[in-house]
């Protein structure tokens, strides 16, 4: 089933003549499940996180490789913020009408937030992501992603997980 966010992403990619693969799959709840459903490595997954910054009460989208975990201390420094937290499920639904795990790695014009992308995303040839639903994914070249996404800033805010795949992580201080 199509969603407004999926439709907007596909229209944007078509408008910019970006080749992509749209994959419909069973609902996925984790990055590992999504990677299996897409037939791709977790490493190329673009995990998009809606983060609330305390100063100014603003929200930003941060994208990291799905194989890594967010280092909130580095993100705080990059954003010049004292405190950060993940958006709550209610905030996510209110601001985007999306379920957790379905946020795509795009800010404007797809979602109304500044977009920060970790450099780890650009170490791969492709990026794969849930595209506004838990059952629709898009896979495209990183070069094209960088060209069409309105990236506010490339940051270094991720690190390797010490717990291996399948572990649920929270941002750390």
- What pLDDT is attached to residue 157? 96
- What pLDDT is stored for residue 166 in this prediction? 37
Question: Which residue range(s) make up the domain with 86?
Answer: 4-159
Q: What is the largest CA-CA distance in the chain?
A: 41
This prediction has a pTM of: 0.90
C-alpha 58/C-alpha 84 separation (Å) is: 10
Tally of domains in the chain? 1
- Would you say residue 90 lies in a domain? yes
- Residue 89 CA to residue 107 CA, distance in Å, equals 18
CB 128 within 8 A of CB 138: yes
Q: Mean pLDDT for each 10-residue chunk of the chain (173 residues)?
A: 92 98 94 94 96 85 96 93 93 95 96 97 97 96 98 94 43 34
Cα(95)–Cα(73) distance, rounded to whole angstroms? 25
Residue-level pLDDT at 165: 41
Per-residue DSSP letter, 154: E
In a domain, 57, yes or no: yes
Task: State the Cα–Cα distance between residues 45 and 83, nearest whole angstrom.
Answer: 26
What pLDDT shows up at residue 29?
A: 85
Query: So what's the pLDDT on residue 54?
Result: 77
Decide: helix, strand or coil at residue 156.
Answer: coil
Inside any domain, residue 169: no
Q: How far is CA 113 from the centre of its chain?
A: 12
Residue 75 lies inside a defined structural domain of this protein: yes
24 lies in some domain: yes
Q: Classify residue 101: in a domain, yes or no.
A: yes
C-alpha pair distances (Å), 23 with each of 36, 54, 153:
12, 36, 28
Flag whether 171 is in a domain. Answer: no
Q: Give the per-residue pLDDT at 56.
A: 62
Residue 148 lies in a domain: yes
Strand 136-141 relative to strand 84-86, pairing: unpaired
Instruction: Check which CATH number belongs to the domain holding 129 and give it.
Output: 3.90.960.10
């Amino acid at each position: 089933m199509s969603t407004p966010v999926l439709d907007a992403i596909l229209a944007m990619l078509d408008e910019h003549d970006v080749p992509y693969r749209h994959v419909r799959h069973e609902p996925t709840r984790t990055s590992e499940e999504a990677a299996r459903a897409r037939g791709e490595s977790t490493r190329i997954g673009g995990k998009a996180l809606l983060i609330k910054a305390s100063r100014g009460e603003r929200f930003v989208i941060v994208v990291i490789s799905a194989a890594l975990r967010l280092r909130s201390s580095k993100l705080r420094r990059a954003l010049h913020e004292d405190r950060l937290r993940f958006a709550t499920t209610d905030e996510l639904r209110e601001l985007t009408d999306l379920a957790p795990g379905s946020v795509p790695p795009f800010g404007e014009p797809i979602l109304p937030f500044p977009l920060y992308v970790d450099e780890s995303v650009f170490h791969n040839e492709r990026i794969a992501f849930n595209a506004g639903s838990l059952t629709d994914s898009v896979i495209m070249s990183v070069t094209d992603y960088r060209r069409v996404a309105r990236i506010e800033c490339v940051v270094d805010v991720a690190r390797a997980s010490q717990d291996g795949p399948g572990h649920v992580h929270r941002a750390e201080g």
